[in-house]
Amino acid sequence: MKKAPHVLIIEDTASLAMTYAGQLEAAGCSVELAGSGGEARQHLDSGSRPFDVILLDLKLPDCDGLEWLSSQPGLTEKASVIVITADGSINRAIQAMRLGAYDFLVKPLSPERLLTTVRHASERRELEREVQIARKLKKRDRFHGFVGHSDVMQAVYRAIENVANSKATVFVTGESGTGKEVTAEAIHNSSQRASGRFVAINCGAIPENLLESELFGHVKGAFTGALENRTGAAKEADGGTLFLDEICEMELKLQVKLLRFLQTGMIQRVGSSKPEAVNVRVICATNRDPMAEVAAGRFREDLFYRLSVLPIELPPLRERGDDIVLLAQTFLDRFAEEEGKTFNPLDIKAQARLKGYGWPGNVRELQNVIRRAVVMTPEPDLSADAILQGLSGPAAAPPPRAQEASTEPGSADGLPASGNGMPDLSAMTLDEIEKWAVEAAIAQFDGSVPAAARHLAISPSTLYRKLERWSNPVS
């Protein structure tokens, strides 16, 4: 059984500290309070159960929050530190992030924001522990449709096993082609619902006016073309798992009905006044950043918090190291057998070229490239050049958009150029340099803010706040 997160709240305003503690304890957290930096050190030095999450107010009566954090070497490696700041001290919060803080919250805090941030921070710590454990255990290179033995994939396998038998919804995020549906099927097959049906709906592939019918069903005559009764995916998955892919593509009106279904477990077919009870496990996925969609008004905040109970983020292929070669060899063997051909194992040169490519399309792109090469190449050797013919650019180069972003970012943004493809940093302010670096990173990772945040070693929420500030400058 998964243990409750252990949280230390460092806040000198007693009313606020008690409010945060009450909300977290109601959500199942174990909470301890400290009203000063000195009291916090006593909690940390007590030798009791280690903390998973630390909420740190930057204004303490006996010390500065930043100074306190910097005086605790290794603390951010043992616990996820969340900084609490007022509106006027965002820059200080950013300094805390550079000291290793996980995220920051701006007062006043909504209960939903507090609980979600603490939960995600705790789960991050749990995943880090899982990675450490996985390194000590024998690694699995196959798992319910996945191929890969990297540390990040071992953590994904453990996360799938941990959430499999829970009744809570799972929100799978990751770039296109990273295996979100494979993850959903793995959760289903690892669960007690494995004997039930796994029903998948792609919310982005079905017209808006038909999605409700596909999801909840309809009765005969409910609309033009409804020539017979339709069960709907939710009812078909009764006793099993319903997978909603590309959930952020769903229109707002239908999001309301989905939220009601998740809260009540009842569906109502289009054209019917009779509600029906169903027993399904819901897993959803998106290749977008759901918090960005919420901020843009395209996704309901209450639905996001209802869905994102158990989040799983899939790593892009470029971060999986030797998994690239393992996957490529697996695809080569599979497709060679299908085509009735025989190929030698990939040589060192081919392996190096595969690992040097950025794989913007992730596992799906690798699969297509190997299939194309198998079909078009005479046996028995699959050379690096044969593989490269299936790529959009040189295998040792970053993806096309990243290459464009790194050639002349200065001229694209109207910044002074130095003549060597880089902006003239000496002619720029610190804020302009930071903006250029952030935008170049986002372009490098094909517009993915979470991937750019990982590359820059900051949290996605920090990056979104920077982008919002730059798009709405204070006059």
| pLDDT tens figures, 182-191 | 999 999 999 9
In the predicted structure, residue 391 carries a pLDDT above the cut 70? no
Tokens of 200: 């998948």
Give the three-class secondary structure for 308: coil
In the chain, what percentage of residues exceed pLDDT 70?
86
In the predicted structure, residue 460 carries a pLDDT above the cut 80? no
d(CA 360, CA 364): 10
Query: 263 vs 154, 162, 266, 306, CA distance in Å?
Result: 33, 23, 8, 8
Residues in the chain: 475
Give the phi and the psi of residue 306 in degrees, each rounded to 5. Answer: -70, -35
| pLDDT tens figures, 147-195 | 999 989 988 998 999 999 888 899 999 999 999 999 999 999 999 888 8
| Of 6 and 47, more confident | 6
Domains of the chain from N-terminus onward: 6-114 (3.40.50.2300), 138-315 (3.40.50.300), 318-388 (1.10.8.60), 400-471 (1.10.10)
Q: Which of 247-251, 377-381, 425-429 has the lowest mean pLDDT?
A: 425-429
Tell me the pLDDT band of 313, cut-offs 50, 70 and 90: very high
Decide if 306 contacts 259 (C-beta within 8 A): yes
d(CA 53, CA 63): 20
* b/e per residue 369-408 (b: at least 16 CB within 10 A): bbbbbbeebeeeebebebbbebbeeebeebbebbeebbee
CA-nearest of 225, 239, 233 to 271 is 225
Q: Is 280 left (phi over 0), alpha (psi -120 to 50) or beta?
A: beta
Q: Which of 138-147, 335-344, 383-392 has the lowest mean pLDDT?
A: 383-392
Q: How many CB atoms lie within 10 A of CB 131?
A: 14
Decide if 316 contacts 177 (C-beta within 8 A): no
| Of 294 and 86, more confident | 294
In the predicted structure, residue 464 carries a pLDDT above the cut 80? no
CA-nearest of 305, 274, 270 to 290 is 305
Can you tell me the mean pLDDT for 23-44? 90
Whole-number average pLDDT of the chain = 83
d(CA 163, CA 191): 9
Q: Which of 67-71, 346-350, 391-395, 400-404 has the lowest mean pLDDT?
A: 400-404
At 396 the pLDDT is: 38
d(CA 327, CA 141): 10
User: How many alpha carbons lie under 13 Å from residue 348 in its C-beta half-sphere?
Assistant: 0
At 422 the pLDDT is: 62
Query: 429 vs 433, 438, 465, 471, CA distance in Å?
Result: 6, 14, 19, 17
Give the phi and the psi of residue 313 in degrees, each rounded to 5. Answer: -105, 125
Give the three-class secondary structure for 420: coil
Radius of gyration of the chain (CA): 25
At 87 the pLDDT is: 62
d(CA 322, CA 149): 8
d(CA 229, CA 216): 11
| pLDDT tens figures, 204-213 | 888 877 888 8
CA-nearest of 219, 250, 246 to 232 is 219
User: How many alpha carbons lie under 13 Å from residue 24 in its C-beta half-sphere?
Assistant: 27
Tell me the pLDDT band of 109, cut-offs 50, 70 and 90: confident
Kindly give, in sequence order, each residue whose CB lies less than 8 Å from that of residue 440, ignoring residues fewer than 6 positions away: 405, 406, 409
At 424 the pLDDT is: 67
In the predicted structure, residue 414 carries a pLDDT above the cut 90? no
| Of 403 and 138, more confident | 138
DSSP state string for 58-73: SB-SSSBHHHHHHTST
Secondary structure letter of residue 102 according to DSSP:
-
Q: How many CB atoms lie within 10 A of CB 146?
A: 21
